[in-house]
Amino acid sequence: MELMASQLIKLYMQEHILIGSIHYAPTPEARLLDALNGLADIEPMKRGRFLELTGVNIQHVGGREEKLQVAYINKSTIHLSGTLTDANAGRGIGSQAGPKSYPFVEKSPIPIRLETQSYIVTGNMYHVDQQKIRNVLEDIQIFLPITHAQVYTIATGTREKLPFVAVNKEHILALEEEDTVATGIHKSVEANIRKSPKKFILT
């Protein structure tokens, strides 16, 4: 019998937030980002348009909450998907210690700030040497991995930090490079005031 593992994740939708568990086979390649981008066909993380969540708590903008035993979420409606444990749980093979197997490619972090209709996110996105931000955004993968993320919910004015967030590129309205502080960690949303940001508008 194949062993299964579960991971608690948080989905940020247009007008509500869902918290629930996603199930996958516990291998280095089977992680949240793979499931979102349709790269894993290990049951039950199959290629397709929907994620299956169990033990779901739905938080509405007005404060109302409801619970569901199982929910099937259309990936195209997800703005952000975050892990509530550590960043490595969402990144996949790149987070594993030691030598990486093909097709892994080493990437470097870029501090960024991005906006969707409902959220503002700061954190580190990743690129290979000489790769432009626009190239990363126009890559075929739908979800963009961000680590050391801070998420600002526009409707409620709340902010929270998450170790890992996958952003649906179809919902990104604008993205810009951030200034970095001495520690290399991105500035907070409150301090994000720049005279000439390197900004990319997606329409």
> What is the per-residue pLDDT across 124-165, written as a single tens digit (0 to 9) for each?
998 777 778 888 888 888 999 999 999 999 999 999 999 999
Gap between the Cα atoms of 26 and 42, Å rounded:
10
pLDDT in the model for residue 4: 56
Q: Which residues contact 172 (CB under 8 A, 6 or more apart)?
A: 114, 115, 116, 137, 144, 202
* CATH fold of the domain at 108-201: SH3 type barrels. (2.30.30)
Residue owning tokens 């509530």: 84
> What is the per-residue pLDDT across 5-64, written as a single tens digit (0 to 9) for each?
678 899 999 999 999 998 876 555 557 888 888 765 445 444 578 989 999 999 998 888
In the chain, what's the furthest Cα-to-Cα distance?
58
Instruction: Determine the average pLDDT of the residues in 164-174.
Output: 95
Residue 96 CB neighbour total at 10 angstroms: 15
Please state the pTM of the whole predicted model: 0.76
CATH number for region 5-95 = 2.30.30.100
Q: Where do you find CATH 2.30.30.100 in the chain?
A: 5-95, 108-201
- State whether the Cα torsion 177-178-179-181 is positive or negative: negative
Whether the pLDDT of residue 196 is over 90: the answer is no
